[in-house]
């Protein structure tokens, strides 16, 4: 049986949330990242949280918190690089801290449909979700070189490394992101 590391990407600036740490915003009485953790943890062997501020609050979860190795918040790829570098397993499942309704078989489905690819990501009926991905640790060096060249396009990196999307034809709501204060209000009312 293959072991997996899960990484919750919570290291962004929260610019669409007015600079607030999105993973710590409350949803239904608990921080947003904890909804993701609750769904991801049963699917993997260990969970890491990629965060660049409020480290102590994320550490309260009992998970190891890792930081970007590159300065200036270069985006989700920097969190992915950090996750790949800190992983003790060959395969790393990534998910954003703002996807609280992540399917409870997300990792298994990506694993089963990856073929020989070193990277796969969720594709739903409406769009690609490249931050919901399963990536092999061997891509870490190439990813670091990509970032050092100033590249930030996550899906392009994965495609250029033989990756492909995996169709999840679930209810689109499973992949809703909470990006803005309005999104958070709408989730509270559903």
Q: What are phi and psi of 169, to 5 degrees?
A: -95, 30
Q: Is 22 annotated as a binding residue?
A: yes
Q: Is 30 annotated as a binding residue?
A: no
Q: How far apart are CA 42 and CA 16, in angstroms?
A: 30
* Helix H or strand E encompassing 36: helix 32-40
- Work out the number of other CB atoms within 10 angstroms of the CB of residue 185: 10
All residues at 6 or more sequence positions from 69 whose CB lies less than 8 Å from its CB, including other chains: 78, 81, 82, 85
Q: Is 98 annotated as a binding residue?
A: yes
Minimal CA–CA distance to 119: which of 101, 146, 148? 146
Q: How far apart are CA 176 and CA 184, in angstroms?
A: 11
All residues at 6 or more sequence positions from 137 whose CB lies less than 8 Å from its CB, including other chains: 84, 87, 89, 90, 91, 92
Strands 128-136 and 91-96: antiparallel
Binding site members for Mg(2+): 98
Binding site members for GTP: 9-11, 22, 68, 98
Binding site members: 9-11, 22, 68, 98
């Amino acid at each position: 049986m293959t072991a997996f590391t899960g990484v919750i990407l919570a290291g962004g600036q929260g610019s669409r949330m007015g600079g607030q740490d999105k993973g710590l915003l409350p949803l239904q009485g608990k921080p947003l990242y904890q909804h993701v953790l609750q769904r991801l943890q049963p699917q993997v062997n260990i969970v890491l949280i990629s965060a660049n501020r409020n480290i102590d609050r994320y550490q309260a979860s009992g998970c190891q918190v890792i930081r970007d190795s590159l300065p200036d918040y270069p985006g989700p790829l920097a969190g992915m690089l950090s996750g790949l570098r800190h992983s003790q397993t060959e395969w790393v499942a990534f998910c954003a801290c703002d996807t609280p309704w992540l399917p409870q078989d997300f990792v298994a489905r990506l694993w089963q449909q990856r073929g020989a690819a070193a990277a796969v990501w969720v594709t739903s009926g409406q769009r690609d979700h490249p931050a919901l991905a399963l990536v092999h640790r061997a891509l870490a060096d190439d990813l670091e070189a990509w970032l050092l060249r100033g590249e930030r396009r996550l899906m392009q990196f994965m495609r250029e490394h033989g990756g492909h999307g995996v169709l999840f034809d679930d209810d689109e709501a499973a992949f809703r992101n909470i990006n803005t204060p309005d999104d958070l209000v709408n989730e509270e009312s559903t």
